[in-house]
Chains A and B, each alone.
Chain A
């Protein structure tokens, strides 16, 4: 072909529609903010129900995870996420969805090598690098900031 890779790259860029960034930012802000506001509502609810502050701190994320698991299982969450992007991905809902969805998908390969082996297929990198950074911060805290 006479067309070089660089020329073709320009052709592809000219023909590919750009991502609608503003729309994505607005959607993710609205939905992500909505989820956080809902979480705040849960906090007020659990406080009103006379749970201790420590219990409320556990109950709020657990409720959000449970709701995500249910909406993932009934096939609603991915539709919302398609519209919301990072809005559903960044809060704890994104993590819950990333664990529940491979579990559903790989159930056909059995509970050990299917569900078990693939449960953290998507969330694995978050756990690995999240733990690594926490460890590093813990060491810094222990030696310098304590």
Chain B
């Protein structure tokens, strides 16, 4: 049973263990700095499907299947999956799960959905009602552009603060700590567990530009990180890395400034951002970095968790960041509310 620390952080005494993980991406993501670490790279944007929406379904299924394969676990043994995406009514997730036969709890927290999913999965396992629970999430550049911006072939310029929605998906399979590990996982140097989770509050400092998502989400990230540090009595240097979801270059800079003036802490030595890790922002045409649910999900599963498994890092705070706007709200003059959920991963004792 989870134990509350301070006002927001939950400690999971049983420490659910990561049994499997999968991260897949598109061509541009494959060409990025983490390309070789992705489990699969789809070279065609449509992935052989008739629509962008179907392509995203394929993408999410691929991540889920990779996570199951890496754990040597058949889909029937997964008792629940928390999943979400950016498409209307979370359709990519629902359609992906149509063939898998895993019970589904659909979630929406924009690009913080994967962090929310992992937190929910860890809490479910920790609560004792479930043995194996998954979290999965995806985003696809083309389906997101179609829904939120312009048709793909429409000639529009990118504003200097814009980010690129990643074509990527990630999936994690968690297991209760008491269960035996399959031989493949037992062979890994270290097993990684979820130690603490924290659900974010909705923050809005009045950013209304839908092309400036990093700036809209930075306050939520700062709020969640500062609450976590206060609740747990930790310093940023007690962590090996604070991975934010997809703030990009501008949002990351704003997060560091906000953390300094709101909480007097310097996050610079440990802060990394998924939006800047997935792409080479200087060489690839991605604006100020990546965004989208799949961005941080893929970075977490392909780069950060392996570092923990290899023992290079001991503790990582993953903070998924989401901009909670709809297609309609900016047109009605609303500013962009944002949210950030935190998950503390650590090497199992």
Does A100 count as interface, using CB distance less than 8 angstroms? Answer: yes
Does A81 count as interface, using CB distance less than 8 angstroms? Answer: yes
Q: Are B158 and A105 in contact (CB under 8 A)?
A: no
A3 and B207 CA atoms in complex are apart in Å by 13
Q: Are A15 and B254 in contact (CB under 8 A)?
A: yes
Distance to closest chain B CB from A142 (angstroms): 36
Q: Are B51 and A3 in contact (CB under 8 A)?
A: no
Answer whether A85 and B157 are a contact pair too, CB < 8 Å, given A2-B262, A105-B146.
yes
Question: Interface size bucket, B side?
Answer: 20 to 34
Q: Are B158 and A3 in contact (CB under 8 A)?
A: no
Does B332 count as interface, using CB distance less than 8 angstroms? Answer: no
Answer whether A78 and B257 are a contact pair too, CB < 8 Å, given A1-B205, A17-B160, A17-B161.
no
Q: Are B205 and A81 in contact (CB under 8 A)?
A: no
Interface string of B147-172 (1 = CB under 8 A from A): 00011111111111100000000000
Interface string of B278-319 (1 = CB under 8 A from A): 000000000000000000000000000000000000000000
Q: Are A101 and B154 in contact (CB under 8 A)?
A: yes
Q: Is the interface of B mostly helix, strand, loop or mixed?
A: loop
Report how many residues on chain A are interfacial, defined by Cβ distance under 8 Å: 38
Partner of A104, one of B153, B207, B215, B254: B153
Q: Are B262 and A16 in contact (CB under 8 A)?
A: no
Distance to closest chain B CB from A35 (angstroms): 12
Could you name 23 residue pairs across A and B whose Cβ atoms are closer than 8 Å? A1-B219, A1-B262, A3-B262, A5-B205, A11-B257, A12-B215, A12-B250, A16-B160, A16-B212, A19-B159, A73-B153, A78-B156, A81-B156, A84-B155, A88-B155, A94-B155, A97-B154, A100-B153, A101-B151, A105-B151, A105-B153, A108-B50, A108-B53
